[in-house]
Amino acid sequence: MKTQLFTTLFLGGLLFLVSCSNKSDYQPFVPSLPPITQTGANTFGCYIDGVLLTPRDGTGGLYGTPKGMKRIALGNPPNYIYNEIRIQDYTGETGGILKIHITDLHQNGEGTFTIRESNCEDGIDASPSLNIHCRIIDKASQTYKWYCSMENAGTLSITRYDYENGIISGTFQCTMQNRDNSNERIEITQGRFDINGYTLDETDFP
């Protein structure tokens, strides 16, 4: 009887120690700015007014797990009316959203292009030009604010466009103005993306 009691206490203590060890070893995921690549790595990152934004998946949802990064296209391939890169941080503190609306991608291919004024809409309602709009939380007021790209206030460089392999890579930076107060402006810096359209839906963004 004493032997059984000792064994039970020993195993219980061992499990407690293992549990404590696992908790102390746990390291929360910390997003970081990805390197600039052109391999279809399905990465994205930028700073919005100095705050890092990377794609992060949500949980649950009526139609499955909300994805942190999507590529949306309208029209007949390869001559799409537009390609749109949509980024959202579902699980971080920023609540960040960013959408890059790219027109004439197949016709223009690789190169550096001027970012135009955004009407802060996406998809078919967006301005028919290369433009960006985003949302980020304002820490002082704890409210979300929307910002729209300004005319001639930035550039986007397509560093690789490989339609056959589904790869779009590039970098960008621009000045944005508050949708509700044009006098309030912020900067998007160190923007980069490297997307493989064939594997993007299968990629997890923790």
Does residue 11 sit within a domain? no
At 14-52, the pLDDT tens digits run: 444 444 444 456 677 889 999 999 999 999 999 999 999
Does residue 5 sit within a domain? no
Which structural domain, as residue segments, surrounds residue 94? 43-202
Determine the Cα–Cα distance for residues 203 and 105; give it in Å rounded to an integer.
Answer: 23
Does residue 189 sit within a domain? yes
At 172-188, the pLDDT tens digits run: 999 999 999 999 999 99
| Phi-psi label, residue 52: left if phi above 0, alpha if psi -120 to 50, beta otherwise | beta
Those residues whose C-beta lies under 8 Å from the C-beta of residue 203, and which sit 6 or more positions away, are 42, 69
Q: Is the peptide bond before 128 cis (omega within 30 degrees of 0)?
A: no
Q: What is the pLDDT of residue 139?
A: 86
**Average pLDDT, whole number, for the chain?**
89
Does residue 173 sit within a domain? yes
Does residue 37 sit within a domain? no
Does residue 172 sit within a domain? yes
Q: What is the pTM of this model?
A: 0.86
Please tell me the total count of domains within the chain: 1
Does residue 33 sit within a domain? no
Does residue 31 sit within a domain? no
